[in-house]
Amino acid sequence: MTGPTTRVFAARLAGTAVFDPQGDQVGRVRDVVGLLRPRGPLRVIGLVVEVPGRRRVFVPMTRVTSVDTGQVLTTGLVNMRRFEQRRTETLLLAELLDRTVELADGSGAATIEDLAMEPVRARDWQLTKLFVRRGAAPRGLSGRLRRRGETMTVDVDAVVGLTVPDADQGATNLLAAFEELKATDLAEVIHELTPKRRREVAAALDDERLADVLEELPEDDQVEILSALEGDRAAHVLEEMQPDDAADLLSDLPAEQAERLLALMEPDDAAPVRRLLAYDEHTAGGLMTTDPVVLAPDDTVAEALAHVRRAELPSPLATAVYVCRPPLETPTGRYLGTAHLQRLLREPPQTPLGQILDDDVDALSPEEGLQAVTRQLAAYNLVSLPVVDEDGHLLGAVTADDVLDHLLPEDWREAEGEVFHHAGQRGASAVTRG
């Protein structure tokens, strides 16, 4: 026995905090690792735990001392090497949730909605029960399961096909297990999946959520997922993305495919993306977003603060309001200056923006290169800069996060370090996987 809980449902473990013996949090559970075998029970050999830095590491069940409500306790010795799934291993959440199996009594198909594991000896766990919904789960256009049929808990050996990949597996229960994750963290989960499972999960996400996740994925994953979507669905997802991110993604596609998707997009959404594609990706024009906060000089501080408070506005764009003559859609009328957030917070709410402009910061031209953009951001200690054309019309804004994406190595999202955690201390010896 490894603690007060004898049966643990895997989906309920998702996001559970993991602690060392001193009570310091090591990370959070993101998946459960099982060892596939042709015959006999499926052994549960460890947890995939996300530690600070968004690295996912393997924690053997032999290092787990207790699995209780809302927490997992470990011995405190954790190998911080990035988790890499082995050929004989399966991820209970990522790969088995939503899988269709056949009931061994001949009563038909069922869909797995949760999986229960139990300790059979000291720190030796097995998958013992499945929570299933009777009946093959029909899928809607987005891959979601339409709930119907009787639910029941059955023994693992009461089903056939658990270890056989489902040819058309949904992702509803997997996404439910990770519904609280931010887009960046969900992107990390999706990146770790097999290509087939990535496509299935992407199909089950709504357009807005998928757009947010795509913006956080490596380029290869973005291209793979977008290319697997139907044309109209792909166009809708691109419409939900930030124009600069959509342009970056389209630039990685074959020209014919990119043009076909642009033609399927709504003209108002496609127009800014086409403008961005006209610039080299390493220039201010290629780096900028065409959707900064733009207001008129007679708009007030109160109105500006209302705009930057919008939850959907990316944080770097919330630090500045660009003040221009109408029209206020990019390309705008003449650019007048910038009202920075700190200044907005110090001024009376009814102050017109035209009275508090910072016009000392030089705007960028769209042809300026990456190094020039980087130097100007650093020189002014800013997180965004305006980009204007030769006639002084605002075209967009370059943000520091977009610059960093181009300065860092292409594989920076996958970079890993070799560090260890031992009761809050660095320097412990490695733990091998059993």
DSSP output for 101-164: EEETTTTEEEEEEEEEEEEEETTEEEEEEEEEEES---B-TTS-B---S-EEEEEGGGEE-TTS
Q: Is residue 325 part of a domain?
A: yes
The whole-number pLDDT of residue 331 equals 95
The whole-number pLDDT of residue 144 equals 45
pLDDT-based confidence at 183, cuts 50/70/90? very high
How far apart, in whole angstroms, are the C-alpha atoms of residue 60 and residue 71? 16
Report percent pLDDT > 90 for the chain: 69
User: What is residue 363's DSSP assignment?
Assistant: P
Q: Is residue 205 part of a domain?
A: no
Rounded to a whole number of angstroms, the CA Rg of the chain reads 26
Q: Which of 80-89, 90-99, 306-315 has the lowest mean pLDDT?
A: 80-89
Does pLDDT of 214 surpass 90?
A: yes
Q: Is residue 32 part of a domain?
A: yes
Please count the other Cβ atoms lying within 10 Å of the Cβ belonging to residue 62. Answer: 18
pLDDT-based confidence at 298, cuts 50/70/90? very high
Which of 22, 57, 92 is the last residue before a domain boundary?
92
Q: Is residue 431 part of a domain?
A: no
Which of 92, 116, 146 is the last residue before a domain boundary?
92
Q: Is 348 exposed, middle or buried (0-12, 13-18, 19+ CB in 10 A)?
A: exposed
Nearest CA among 79, 67, 84 for reference residue 33: 84
The two beta strands, 394-399 and 71-74, are unpaired
The whole-number pLDDT of residue 141 equals 38
pLDDT-based confidence at 220, cuts 50/70/90? very high
Range of the structural domain that residue 330 is part of: 294-407
319-350 pLDDT, tens digit per residue, is 999 999 999 999 999 999 999 999 999 999 99
Q: Is residue 22 part of a domain?
A: yes
The residue with greater pLDDT, 265 or 422, is 265
Q: Is 52 exposed, middle or buried (0-12, 13-18, 19+ CB in 10 A)?
A: exposed
Tokens of 353: 């923006």
Q: Which of 4-8, 270-274, 276-280, 379-383 has the lowest mean pLDDT?
A: 4-8
Nearest CA among 116, 111, 117, 118 for reference residue 97: 111
How far apart, in whole angstroms, are the C-alpha atoms of residue 193 and residue 180? 19
Does pLDDT of 424 surpass 90?
A: no
Average pLDDT over residues 154-158: 93
The residue with greater pLDDT, 301 or 380, is 301
User: Do 70 and 16 meet the contact criterion of CB atoms below 8 Å apart?
Assistant: yes
Q: Which of 76-90, 125-139, 200-214 has the lowest mean pLDDT?
A: 125-139
227-286 pLDDT, tens digit per residue, is 999 999 999 999 999 999 999 999 999 999 999 999 999 999 999 999 999 999 899 999
In sequence order, which residues have a C-beta less than 8 Å from that of residue 190 and are 6 or more positions away? Answer: 198, 201, 202, 213, 217, 221
113-151 pLDDT, tens digit per residue, is 999 999 987 778 999 999 999 976 544 434 444 456 789
Cα–Cα distances (Å) from 418 to 63, 375, 422, 429, in that order, read 19, 32, 14, 11
Q: How many CA atoms lie within 13 A of 225 on its CB side?
A: 30
Which of 42, 68, 92 is the last residue before a domain boundary?
92
Q: Is residue 104 part of a domain?
A: no
40-74 pLDDT, tens digit per residue, is 778 999 999 999 888 899 999 999 998 877 899 99
Does pLDDT of 417 surpass 70?
A: no
User: Do 362 and 376 meet the contact criterion of CB atoms below 8 Å apart?
Assistant: yes
CATH number where 43 lies: 2.30.30.240
Nearest CA among 274, 214, 200 for reference residue 249: 214
The whole-number pLDDT of residue 70 equals 83
Q: Is residue 64 part of a domain?
A: yes
How far apart, in whole angstroms, are the C-alpha atoms of residue 253 and residue 260? 11
Tokens of 426: 């660095």
CATH number where 366 lies: 3.10.580.10
How far apart, in whole angstroms, are the C-alpha atoms of residue 31 and residue 186? 12
How far apart, in whole angstroms, are the C-alpha atoms of residue 114 and residue 9? 6
Q: Is residue 384 part of a domain?
A: yes
User: Do 301 and 253 meet the contact criterion of CB atoms below 8 Å apart?
Assistant: no
Does pLDDT of 166 surpass 80?
A: no
Count of domains in the chain? 2
- Provide the b/e sequence for 269-306 (b: ≥16 CB within 10 Å): bbebbebbbebebebbbbbbbbbbbbbbbebbbebbbe
Average pLDDT over residues 304-310: 96
How far apart, in whole angstroms, are the C-alpha atoms of residue 90 and residue 197? 12
User: Do 1 and 119 meet the contact criterion of CB atoms below 8 Å apart?
Assistant: yes
Amino acid at 232: D
How far apart, in whole angstroms, are the C-alpha atoms of residue 82 and residue 56? 6
Q: Is 311 exposed, middle or buried (0-12, 13-18, 19+ CB in 10 A)?
A: exposed
pLDDT-based confidence at 407, cuts 50/70/90? confident
Residue with tokens 């300790």: 119
The whole-number pLDDT of residue 433 equals 57
The whole-number pLDDT of residue 137 equals 56
